Chain A
């Protein structure tokens, strides 16, 4: 059993809040899951940049051990459950489940080819269940109160609640728990207080760096797996990053592209080469020095990475760029930043 606590999607901070605020819920979920799949040894792979969460989880594991909830013959049930806490070293790729296994095994964090899947060939080649912190945190409640009670919230196909990491130009950025099916408008305006200082909303990045852009037209989309899929938007790790009208989205795209060029592991050609080329072109676009053909190149690179990369990193590395191309096509063809397209540039 592996708990993926490598939360490294830019803009995501839900697992950190869960681990720092309620570490025993994480452990309880992990123990129940380990019991369910019959695993006597579990790992928590924790993001290296979370030193405080590491300390808290370390204390919690020790407390649970002393209370007899971890270790040998738990509650006299003949069930053994050991938990080992492992820290990542800062690579985004190690949040990908198979690269995470490689990392725990002491190897370089390269994703594996799937199939075989973790359920048959996981950590150390053994069948492995791997779940995120937030998923495991839902387990104790469901076991205690039953699935029917849990299903009272949310939608038919997306039961329960979801944590959303709201950041950017909103009045009250933070972590919000809402039932699945709540609207984006409710989250951004009802809870997060709308745009800060009266500027207009320009764009929302949903799902993180590996996510896609939405606009004010999408505010009434309901936040559930099925509704978002229908709207062609990702839920991802629950990132909702708002940009007001002053933000230069070309600069935002450049930063996202730089992130992927920096974090690509270098295993497969599409991502190893594509993230670099995508970064170079977005640099040109951000600088207002677009070359003819750049838009076509971005599409070719983006679709090639999405279609042919080994893992989720490469498959989503172009999603934000491609979604921006759909929403604002002229942003990628204008050669003169200052005169014609001041709309996208920073006023200062």
Chain B
């Protein structure tokens, strides 16, 4: 198919039809921030950080799913775009522990997002779930990007061990009937851990090392667990 002409931030470019605005921008060297987007998963446009202003569109447009069209005029850093991105980042920072999400921290710096603007706000607190020998789940760090649920399902593993619980602000990733992971259909493939952007899912060994345990201690702990399981 023939290339189409679009304009991004004043820059006229020729791109192939069928590309998303995000891909088109990348091809022109324009970076658009994303949180939930991952090349290996189906984009669901949930984080809305990648929104851009498209001339003629009523609301902002998620660039990770919206496709380019001939003559389209896109603004990736207009005032409306910046306000939405900054506010989303500020609200995210006020709700979660982003200490293991360096990329998001960088965005917050770029957009001068100040989570301190939300005093007396409820955080999404949640105790660390340490219920299996392979990985831990720390949902106080979970940004709900959906990637883990997707790779566990149709995007990769077809295991369907995890899904959504709660609603609105209290949405969380969980197992059916809140069962411990070993009692679910989880096969411990580790793909959810690999795609997690914010340290909510972490190899258990890494977690223990971060808590200050030595390799020897961890080996001893594992040996004890194995022994007790045998009995």
A residues with a Cβ closer than 8 A to B are: 91, 108, 113, 261-277, 280, 284, 291, 293, 297, 300-301, 303-304, 306-310, 315
Contact = CB atoms under 8 A, between A and B. Distances in A.
Which secondary structure dominates chain A's binding surface?
helix
Contacts of A264: 167-169
A301 B89 CA distance: 11
Contacts of B168: 261-266, 271-272, 275-276
A297 B117 contact: yes
Interface of B: 35, 44-49, 51, 59-60, 62, 65, 80, 83-84, 86-88, 90-92, 94-95, 117-122, 144, 163-164, 166-171
B169 A266 contact: yes
Given A265-B168, A270-B88, A277-B94, A113 B45 contact: yes
Contact of B171 (A261, A266, A307): A266
10 contacts: A261-B169, A268-B45, A272-B169, A276-B168, A276-B169, A277-B94, A300-B86, A300-B87, A304-B84, A307-B83
Contact of A269 (B46, B120, B121): B46
Contact of A113 (B44, B91, B95, B119): B44
Nearest to B86: A300
B144 A266 contact: yes
A303 B91 contact: no
A270 B48 contact: yes
A15 B209 CA distance: 60
B162 to A, nearest CB: 13
Contacts of A280: 118, 120-122
A310 B46 contact: yes
A277 B44 CA distance: 23
B59 A315 contact: yes
A307 B80 contact: yes
A304 B88 contact: yes
Given A265-B167, A268-B48, A277 B84 contact: no
B84 A307 contact: yes
Contacts of B80: 303, 307
B228 to A, nearest CB: 38
Contacts of A262: 167-168
A285 to B, nearest CB: 12
A227 B141 CA distance: 48
Contact of B87 (A272, A284, A301): A301
Given A266-B167, A315-B59, A309 B91 contact: no
- A-B pairs with lowest CB-CB distance, top 10: A266-B171, A264-B168, A276-B169, A273-B91, A304-B87, A308-B48, A308-B84, A300-B87, A304-B84, A307-B60
Contacts of B88: 269-270, 273, 304, 308
Contacts of B86: 300
A283 to B, nearest CB: 9
Contacts of B65: 113
Contact of A273 (B59, B62, B117, B169): B169
Given A304-B84, A307-B80, A308-B88, A272 B171 contact: yes
Contacts of A108: 163-164
A291 B120 CA distance: 10
A276 B35 CA distance: 20
A276 B47 CA distance: 16
- Interface hub of A271, A272, A301 (most chain B Cβ within 10 A): A272
B118 A297 contact: yes
B87 A266 contact: no
Given A113-B44, A266-B168, A277 B51 contact: no
A275 B171 CA distance: 13
Nearest to B90: A300
